[in-house]
């Protein structure tokens, strides 16, 4: 029987309260470690049909960047139509992209020009960030307000990265869940994965 991996958890990221934006606009989850998306965790068991594909994609992903994405399926009650949820997802994604750019980062959290936006030296952002939309307030508000709220989330990620730099360094040295750690897994078209010591 194959052992199940223990993946890094992605805890909720606390944001400062906004006077103009509702508190349930979106919920952010962040960890300074390279972690699988929450939607992929149920498929990351060796007997799952998507396991080889997902592990291959995670092994080939760069580990020293900020991986982030927006999930809008959590707003099904307030935005019942798929086209509304897609618009909400794209709007929040563009707001985060603009927030990263205004704070001096590119799409993957790498510094464009150190200190250009804030006057302070910047470090690259690393880790895994998930943004879950909560309701249709992101459709109704002004885009600049959405960008300002996204900037507070990016600033919280930056503070978390600066607070836990030892975690980022330690994680880069250890054998991780996406690597071969003393065993090899072979796949066959008709057989389930078998482990060899």
Q: Which of 73-77, 90-94, 188-192 has the highest mean pLDDT?
A: 90-94
What is the model's pLDDT at position 186? 39
What is the model's pLDDT at position 192? 39
Instruction: Please check the confidence at residue 108 and state whether its pLDDT lies above 80.
Output: yes
Q: Quick one: which of 148, 178, 184, 121 has its CA closest to 18?
A: 148
What average pLDDT does the chain have? 75
Confidence of residue 4 (pLDDT cuts 50, 70, 90): very low
What is the model's pLDDT at position 90? 93
What is the model's pLDDT at position 21? 62
Q: Which residues of 66-105 are buried (b: 16+ CB within 10 A; e: fewer)?
A: bbbebbbebbeebbeeeebbebbbebbbebbbbbbeebbb
Give this prediction's pTM: 0.72
Confidence of residue 97 (pLDDT cuts 50, 70, 90): very high
């Amino acid at each position: 029987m194959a052992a199940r991996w223990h993946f890094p958890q992605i805890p909720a990221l606390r944001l400062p309260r906004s006077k103009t934006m509702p508190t349930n606009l979106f919920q952010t989850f962040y960890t300074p470690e390279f972690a699988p998306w929450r939607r992929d965790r149920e498929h990351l068991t060796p007997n799952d049909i998507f396991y080889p594909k997902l592990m291959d994609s995670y092994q080939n992903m760069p580990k020293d960047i900020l991986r982030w994405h927006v999930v809008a399926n959590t707003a099904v009650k307030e935005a019942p139509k798929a086209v509304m949820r897609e618009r909400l997802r794209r709007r929040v994604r563009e707001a985060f992209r603009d927030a990263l750019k205004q704070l001096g980062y590119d799409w993957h959290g790498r510094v464009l020009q150190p200190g250009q936006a804030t006057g302070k030296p910047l470090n690259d952002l690393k880790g895994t960030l998930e943004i879950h939309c909560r309701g249709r307030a992101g459709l109704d508000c002004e885009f600049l307000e959405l960008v300002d709220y996204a900037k507070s989330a990016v600033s919280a990620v930056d503070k978390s990265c600066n607070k836990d730099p030892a975690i980022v360094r330690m994680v880069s040295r250890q054998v991780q869940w996406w690597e071969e750690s003393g065993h090899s897994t072979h796949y066959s078209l008709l057989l389930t994965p078998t482990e060899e010591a």
